[in-house]
């Protein structure tokens, strides 16, 4: 396992969220880091879909017109 460099950051978080997280025994810093990682992943996926929209549409159009390329081999 590699050790990741960490940098302190100032974040402003709602008092209600902090209180609820503490009441539930959550690791606030870990939850924040996981939330940021999920937001990054979602944004990268959103951008990938936009950047590849033309190819996705072309592929979908091909399948709509010709069917799945290996459909004859499907066993279900």
Per-residue pLDDT of 2-33, as tens digits, reads 567 888 888 899 999 999 999 999 999 999 99
Residue 1 has pLDDT above 70, yes or no: no
Residue 58 has pLDDT above 80, yes or no: yes
Tokens 């549409």 correspond to: 57
Structural domain boundaries in the chain: 15-69
Percent of the chain with pLDDT over 90: 74
DSSP 30-46: HHHHHHHHHHHHHHHHH
pTM of the model: 0.72
Where are any strands of DSSP class E within 7-51? none
Residue 46 has pLDDT above 70, yes or no: yes
């Amino acid at each position: 396992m590699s050790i990741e460099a960490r940098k302190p950051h100032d974040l402003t978080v709602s008092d209600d969220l902090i209180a609820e997280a503490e009441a539930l025994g959550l690791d606030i810093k870990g939850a924040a880091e996981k939330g940021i990682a999920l937001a990054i992943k979602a944004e990268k996926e959103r951008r990938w879909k936009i950047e590849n929209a033309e190819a996705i549409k072309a592929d979908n159009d091909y399948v709509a017109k010709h069917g799945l390329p290996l459909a004859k081999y499907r066993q279900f």
